A and B are shown apart, each in its own frame.
Chain A
Amino acid sequence: MLLFPLALVLGVLAGTAAGGSLRGLVSLRLRAPAVPLVALVAQAVLAAPATAALPAPARVAVLGASYAAIGGWLAFNLAGRTTPIVTGLCLTGVGWLLNMCVVLANAGMPVSASALNRLGLGTGALAGGGPLGKHVQLASTSALGALGDTIPIPVLHSIVSVGDIVMLAGLILTIAAAMHLARSALHPVAAD
């Protein structure tokens, strides 16, 4: 999964090109930083073999809770930020919302068979749910199929969704914008 490192590099390059510095990124104070980490652990638990027998409604509930936690965390981090950072976080939030809708509607992110073919893979690659165990095959009956993983990127061995792309753009903007934080604006207005 090279997409996040790519976003990080692009964000830092964009921030540097626009006159920012890594010092600004370091000084970005994200509130409740444990929330995304706990949500990640919850999704990792779902992917563990020990929870494979968990009933589908329980899996969707945990998946939904992890997505809700990220949405709440993004909203919680908006107050007191600079406009570019708010824009970046909001864009990230739009990507989150698009992905959450399609994931919860299908109990997993639907992956297009034709996109799998572009990577030289068959639908057997989805056995076990794919990365973090949250992928299913896109079918004609899938809800919101256009928001599924339908965009192949062979060079990165990946298939992404519209929500993923929007989210990546949001993270790149957030990182680039954070690099412009001045010493005087290190702390959010509504400190935690």
Chain B
Amino acid sequence: MNRKLGLRSILRAVIVIAVLAATWLVAAAPFYQGPCEHFLHL
């Protein structure tokens, strides 16, 4: 039971963070050129 609740909490945390991250990626527009650049050029 507790394990289920724990997994659900982790899933909720991932959703909250993913949604806020998507909001940032869409609305913000910082120029970035560094090690992870190729991920952002898709």
Contact = CB atoms under 8 A, between A and B. Distances in A.
Are A and B bound to each other? Answer: yes
Interface centre among B24, B26, B34, B40, by most chain A C-beta atoms within 10 angstroms, is B26
11 contacts: A8-B20, A27-B12, A36-B19, A37-B18, A66-B26, A70-B27, A96-B27, A133-B42, A158-B32, A160-B28, A160-B31
Contacts of B32: 1, 130-131, 156-159
Interface residues of A, number: 63
B16 A161 contact: no
A159 B15 contact: no
Contacts of A128: 41
A39 B22 contact: yes
Contacts, number: 136
A177 B28 CA distance: 21
A175 B31 contact: no
Contact of B42 (A47, A119, A149, A156): A47
B27 A158 contact: no
Please classify the interface of chain B as helix (H, G, I), strand (E, B), loop, or mixed, using the class held by over half of its residues. helix
Interface string B1-29: 00000000100110111111111111111
B19 A33 contact: yes
Given A47-B42, A128-B41, A164 B22 contact: no
B31 A109 contact: yes
Given A1-B36, A44-B42, A47-B42, A160 B23 contact: no
A62 B24 CA distance: 17
